Amino acid sequence: MPPYAEDPQDVQDPSEGPDPRRTAFAWTEAAARQRAEAGLVRTLRPRAAESELLDLASNDYLGLTRRPEITEAAAEAARRWGAGSTGSRLVTGSTRLHARLERELAEFCGFEAALVFSSGYTANLAALTALSSRDGLIVSDSGNHASIVDGCRLSRAETAVVPHADPEAVAKTLGAHPGRRGLAVSDSVFSVDGDKAPLAALAAACRAHGAGLVVDDAHGLGVLGDGGRGALHEAGLAGAPDVVATLTLSKSLGSQGGAVLGPARVIEHLVNAARTFIFDTGLAPAATGAALASLRLIAAEPALAARSRTVATTLHRLLSDAGLTAVRPDAAVVSVRAPGPNEALRWAADCRELGLAVGCFRPPSVPDGISRLRLTARADLTDAEIGRAVATILRTAPEGAAV
Ligand code: PMP
């Protein structure tokens, strides 16, 4: 039988079936075995609508995704505008709801203009591909999110990966390539350890070399800055002519989707040049309406952002006082180190058995190879829930987790 016959049934006795060693994806079994040996198997666990678990694993930082006024806004938007947006943004997929969200997002965060995408992932791909070019240079932090890494690859620009949170390395790299169209890109708050990027120093490094700065504020919006206006607002960089922010609407806004914020001329360029904007269906009205309602709610309740930061520092204090290696959080992500990937997995499973959902980060999601539990400091956690979560984490801690 030829290795890739159009239809194996044509050339083989159907009763024999295809030879499993020769089918196209047989190699995935060897990959699965390697993953199992390394303790890196990932599995889906569909949750029930009414889960009994105490949630410290989701990205619902402000506890908005199930607030009745937000779900009602989603339902109302679907009733009014339809279940889908019906097309790409440049054809039929832009509603007045999208335009309103863009206006209010830009205004809240302090930028001139905004553009909404179907996800934070596509927003990062858009910013990096449209603002760089084959002969450009992108300087990227080694701890950046996968969507930034993919954006750099897709841009075809030369990408220099620099050590984590190192503005001097950024300045040096930009300085070594004078005359190139330069861009530096960083998460504002890093997903793994929850630490903040040195944004002011990064902006200064970029300015010294005429480069643009792209900051992914996925974890900063709703948590950092005055009333949750984000890390760039906090750093005094919102609205600067050489700074662009990318966002997800899926964390503090409790919805789905993404956005790019920046000078009007940059946003206008993205509308015309960003392939993940042009060729992707517009964000669904329900997600757009929910994000807009959340944004308005955050603006009306500025204490929410501060509460999530307080929950984070309380979690960190209680865990580190008990001897666990927890990184001091700059926003709503609290990271606790585990001795290894198998221990991290078992630790998270043991927490789950006791009614607590925590995140588990293992390679390749951790750039330094250190596995961790990852806790979300939700603004709506009560002090009693925080106490219960900490007690559960301590009770299930594996040997070697404490310092
Ligand atoms: N950037 C960062 C830092 C993220 O954590 C995420 C989401 N995990 C994204 C971008 C992608 O956003 P979305 O899930 O909306 O695609």
CA of residue 281 to ligand 1 center, whole Å: 18
- Lookup result for tokens 């791909």: 125
User: Residue with the nearest Cα to atom 4 of ligand 1?
Assistant: 218
Fold classification of 302-396 (topology level): Aspartate Aminotransferase, domain 1 (3.90.1150)
Q: How far apart (Å, rounded) are the C-alpha atoms in residues 143 and 362?
A: 14
CA of residue 218 to ligand 1 center, whole Å: 6
pLDDT of 147? 98
Mutate to test the pocket of ligand 1, among 147, 256, 260, 261 (most ligand atoms within 8 A of CB): 147
Mutate to test the pocket of ligand 1, among 145, 149, 215, 255 (most ligand atoms within 8 A of CB): 145
Residues β-bridged to residue 258 = 117, 248
Q: Where in the chain is the domain with CATH 3.40.640.10?
A: 68-300
Q: Which residues line ligand 1 (CB under 6 A)?
A: 119-121, 124, 145, 147, 187, 191, 216, 218-219, 248, 250, 258
What's the average pLDDT block by block, 10 residues per block, for the chain (403 residues)? 41 60 89 89 89 94 97 98 98 98 98 98 98 97 96 98 98 95 97 95 98 98 98 98 98 98 98 98 98 98 97 97 91 95 94 97 84 96 98 95 75
Residues β-bridged to residue 139 = 160, 184
Question: Would you call 155 helix, strand, or coil by DSSP?
Answer: helix
Q: How far apart (Å, rounded) are the C-alpha atoms in residues 25 and 14?
A: 20
Q: Are 221 and 247 in contact (CB under 8 A)?
A: yes
pLDDT of 104? 98
Q: Which atom of ligand 1 is nearest to the CA of 147?
A: 10
Output the six-digit token pair for 18: 């295809």
Please tell us whether the domain made up of 68-300 is placed in CATH 3.40.640.10.
Answer: yes
**Over the Cα atoms of the chain, what is R_g?**
23
User: Residue with the nearest Cα to atom 12 of ligand 1?
Assistant: 120
Q: Where in the chain is the domain with CATH 3.90.1150.10?
A: 302-396
Give this prediction's pTM.
0.93
Mutate to test the pocket of ligand 1, among 148, 248, 361 (most ligand atoms within 8 A of CB): 248
pLDDT of 333? 95
Mutate to test the pocket of ligand 1, among 58, 121, 256 (most ligand atoms within 8 A of CB): 121
Helix, strand, coil shares of the chain, percent, nearest 5, are 40, 15, 45
Q: Which atom of ligand 1 is nearest to the CA of 190?
A: 3
CA of residue 400 to ligand 1 center, whole Å: 31
